[in-house]
Amino acid sequence: MFRFFENLVDPYVEYPEQDTPPTGLWAFFVDYSKPFKKLFLLTGFMSIIVAGIEIGLIYYMGRLVDLLDGSPAEVWQNYKTEFILVALFILLLRPLMQGLDVLLLNNAILPNYGALFRWRSHRQVLRQSVGWFEDDFAGRIANRIMQTPPAAGEVIFHVFDAISYSLAYLIGAAILLTTSDWQLLIPLVIWFSLYLMLTRWTVTRVSVASKAASDARSEVTGRVVDSYTNIHSVKMFAHHDREVNYAKSAIENARRTFQKEMRIFTVMDVCLVMLNGLLIVGVVGWAFYLWSAGHATVGAVTAAAALTLRLNSMTAWIMWALSTFFQQLGVVSEGLETIAQPITLVDDADARPLDLTEGRVEMIGLSHHYGRGSGGLDNVNLVVRPGEKIGLIGRSGAGKSTLVKLLLRFYDPETGQILIDGQDITKVGQDSLRQNIGMVQQDSALLHRTIRENILYGRPSATNAEVIAAAKQAQAHDFIHDLADADGRSGYDAQVGERGVKLSGGQRQRIALARVILKNAPILLLDEATSALDSEVEAAIQETLYGMMEGKTVIAIAHRLSTIAEMDRILVMDDGRIVEEGTHDMLLANGGLYADFWGRQSGGFLKTEDE
């Protein structure tokens, strides 16, 4: 039975991805709720049925009081069939209706709605560019992805569990009171008007306060995760107290915003108790007056009393549900600041897979300044022939990394274009572009997964034998055999920790090399690929790298000039431009910037800062 309801909606159903998702709160809810449309209608209908049954029971309690005006034997003789049918209804049909209502809400909607929301949110955020992620805290992004789906689920829950039910209940209550005497509606209408005023006062303030509190909590998460992610720097510089105080200021802000939110709830609770007193005295007192004047039966007074007591107990719950509803809307609204941001770096509408035949790379009038007007690249023109090995050097900030990022299309150039085998890379699919480029970075961060999974990231379809062969080629196989994690897994099954923190820098770089070796892409980018290795391992890896380069188009960034001295051509960058190019011997003979770098380097490293 549970499985039937749990499978009524597939949270992973295919849907059209949007580069500009709706930013309006309700438009976003409508878009994400499309697979649940029929289920929502059925659940809303069941909420009305359940509320109607509860009102019907109160009505019947009043009728029962009136029917008892006689001897027990007489009452039983005249109404036993009715009593038995009502009892069967209460014992069988009522639980069935409420069970169906609960199954639809708790089992069919809530788990699947939360999963759908989290799945689509994560999928949407992963489509953002590298630059988008560089502009925010990873912790804050993750926090919003994690807290928004349950908040959205709470909104849906309260729509059906409280709002639709309470509206149906209130309408039913008005009908019930009218059957006794329409004048009983007067105190109910007065109370409801005041109740709506209190509700409006509460929710307009709660929605703002809850968003501020949610923003503050996200700030706390961002700062805490930032400290944890950089724990080595925190410990190395002995800044424990500094990080505690850095988090404390955010925690204090979160405390103050939460205090403001709670003040609203306190005022609401006190006012609600006063309003409920008015409801009880007004409706029951008026019913008592009607009874004393002979215009209402004892049963009508009983039903009115039962109804007001039930409303009294419900009003706090309804107000809490409404407040929570708007509170969670505030959380969702804050989450949409991340989830609903437009995807700015997108594939062209007619994008096709990159058809790489030779590996020729051309950069024509290429400029990119990150929107600042300076820095980055400035009018770079470059042709890398198929199979050519290019070395790239320059001071820090000369534009080397920007050139590589543009080639990978982590950013789009502000002016100019990049062609691969004559194809503008902004006109081909991003995935197909990057599948044809292998990259080994200076900061070889790994995924918090096993060694095997990290190497397989280069080519998930590879066999275990191919994984081991790649690890051996990267001089990593021997140390992998000695690895073990805290859970007893060893070798290729050992987990490496967040960003590969359980491994040394040299070990991480060799795993990253193995991953690129396994990928075997026709274009190879190296950014200080051996910077974390000791001299002995580097010598062995250099042979591996030159073997990897065979038949590939290669661009290698290096500060250690000896590692690129054998390249076909060396480019020297300065202030975003290519200022020198040629072979190692030619550049030394020219006596320019390269020769100056070579003459001043110590131990083979380039001094990249101005002296």
Residue 543 within a domain:
no
- The closest of 367, 344, 345, 363 to 414, measured between CA atoms, is 367
Residue 85 within a domain:
yes
Amino acid in position 123: R
Side by side, the strands of the sheet bearing 423-424 are 377-384, 361-368, 415-420, 423-424
Q: Of 316, 339, 362, which closes a domain?
A: 339
In whole angstroms, what is the distance from residue 191 CA to residue 193 CA?
5
Residue 547 within a domain:
no
Q: How far apart are the first and last CA of the chain?
A: 76
Cβ-contact 325, 204 below 8 angstroms: no
pLDDT of 71 over the 70 cut: yes
47 and 187 both lie in a single domain: yes
Residue 544 within a domain:
no
83 and 142 both lie in a single domain: yes
Give pLDDT tens digits for 14-47.
888 888 888 888 888 889 899 999 999 998 888 8
Q: Angle 298-339/110-126 helices, nearest 10 degrees? A: 20
49 and 160 both lie in a single domain: yes
pLDDT recorded at residue 424: 93
pLDDT recorded at residue 530: 63
> By residue range, what is the domain housing residue 475?
444-520
Q: Specify the residue for token string 């109607």.
A: 52
206 and 327 both lie in a single domain: yes
Residue 317 in 3-state DSSP? helix
In whole angstroms, what is the distance from residue 194 CA to residue 187 CA?
11
Instruction: Tell me the pLDDT band of 609, cut-offs 50, 70 and 90.
Output: very low
Q: Of 339, 368, 399, which closes a domain?
A: 339
In whole angstroms, what is the distance from residue 325 CA to residue 333 CA?
12
Q: The domain spanning residue 511 has which CATH number? A: 3.40.50.300
Please tell me the total count of domains within the chain. Answer: 3
421 and 448 both lie in a single domain: no
Q: The domain spanning residue 316 has which CATH number? A: 1.20.1560.10
Residue 545 within a domain:
no
71 and 163 both lie in a single domain: yes
Give pLDDT tens digits for 345-371.
888 888 899 999 999 999 999 999 887
Residue 124 within a domain:
yes
Q: Specify the residue for token string 């691969």.
A: 420
pLDDT recorded at residue 533: 58
In whole angstroms, what is the distance from residue 344 CA to residue 170 CA?
48
Helix or strand run (H / E) with residue 364: strand 361-368
Distances (CA, A) of 580 to 51, 366, 396, 565: 81, 17, 16, 15
Q: What is the pTM of this model?
A: 0.74
50 and 36 both lie in a single domain: yes
171 and 259 both lie in a single domain: yes
Joined together, the tokens standing for residue 369 give 């300044």
pLDDT of 529 over the 70 cut: no
104 and 155 both lie in a single domain: yes
190 and 240 both lie in a single domain: yes
Give pLDDT tens digits for 102-151.
899 889 998 999 899 889 989 889 888 888 887 877 777 887 888 888 88
Residue 537 within a domain:
no
- The closest of 139, 134, 135, 133 to 247, measured between CA atoms, is 139
Provide the residue count of the chain: 611
For 121-146, letters b (16+ CB in 10 Å) and e give beebbeebbeebeeeebebbbbbbbe
In whole angstroms, what is the distance from residue 490 CA to residue 500 CA?
15
516 and 527 both lie in a single domain: no
Paired with 352 in beta bridges are 428
287 and 394 both lie in a single domain: no
Residue 462 within a domain:
yes
Q: Of 476, 496, 520, which closes a domain?
A: 520
Cβ-contact 164, 291 below 8 angstroms: no
How many C-beta atoms surround the C-beta of residue 413 within 10 A?
21
Q: What is the DSSP string of 510-527?
A: HHHHHHHHHH--SEEEEE
